[in-house]
A and B are shown apart, each in its own frame.
Chain A
């Protein structure tokens, strides 16, 4: 099956700093990637749709200036949490759409962010 990686798998940062999370499709080209956020014992909440070569589409209520998304290549999307606050602590998961298949989404292993 298709493989999606995320880096880092976990990160601790101080309030006010920025942190970048990478999502890579390793064996297919992904023109579309998605970023999700998951709080403990809750479901995945879609934050934004990342399209290669164009601006990301953010879901209602998600601050685009706080969660910067860049999809500069067919295999890489990055999520930057700017001026992080403790309430940004969460599990962030990306997925990539394999259009060469049947449009299935393949998920990365997730990044656990803790803001102190």
Chain B
């Protein structure tokens, strides 16, 4: 079974609107971390936001927020007030802290296109 599932290969959103990118995960660890990265066409991986499994509040970073629903094992990324520069590939990733090497497992990604 896939550990990280991103069901939306592509998403479109109008500039200034909000968009939600879906991510579900599968783990038996009690301690884990969830990450979202943005990858523009240049290829660099840009860290956006982090949610720890024990964090009770949803993480927020500027226009990014993470809708963490632990019982449903989902960690959706919400981008508010979309900008043209938000057009990029977005990856959800999980770090299972039961191991000692802190490996990340990535989903297949969602290509977000922001229309003017």
Residues of A near any B CB (own CB < 8 A): 1, 32, 34, 38, 42-44, 46, 49, 57, 91, 93, 95, 97, 102-110, 112
A58 to chain B, nearest CB (A): 12
Judged by a CB distance under 8 angstroms, whether B12 is at the interface is no
Alpha-carbon gap, A1 to B48, bound state (A): 12
Residues of B near any A CB (own CB < 8 A): 37, 42-45, 47, 50, 91, 95, 101-109
**Known contacts A44-B91, A109-B44, A110-B43; A97/B102 CB under 8 A:** yes
Can you report 11 residue pairs joining A to B where beta carbons are below 8 Å apart?
A: A1-B47, A32-B101, A42-B109, A46-B104, A49-B103, A97-B102, A102-B50, A103-B95, A104-B47, A107-B47, A110-B43
Q: Which residues from B are CB-within-8-Å of A46? A: 103-105
Q: Which residues from A are CB-within-8-Å of B91? A: 43-44
Which of B42, B104, B107, B109 is in CB contact (< 8 Å) with A105? B104
Q: Which residues from B are CB-within-8-Å of A106? A: 47
Decide if A93 touches B45 in the complex (CB within 8 Å).
yes
Q: Which residues from B are CB-within-8-Å of A42? A: 108-109
Decide if B43 touches A43 in the complex (CB within 8 Å).
no
**Known contacts A43-B106, A104-B50; A57/B43 CB under 8 A:** no
Q: With contacts A44-B45, A97-B102 known, what are 13 further pairs, Cβ within 8 A?
A: A1-B47, A42-B109, A44-B91, A46-B104, A46-B105, A93-B43, A93-B45, A95-B104, A102-B50, A107-B37, A107-B45, A107-B47, A109-B44
Which of B43, B47, B95, B107 is in CB contact (< 8 Å) with A109? B43
Q: Which residues from B are CB-within-8-Å of A93? A: 43, 45
Alpha-carbon gap, A93 to B103, bound state (A): 14
Which interface residue of B37, B45, B101, B106 has the most chain A CB atoms within 10 A?
Answer: B45
Question: Nearest residue in B to A99 (C-beta to C-beta)?
Answer: B102
Q: Which residues from B are CB-within-8-Å of A43? A: 91, 106-109
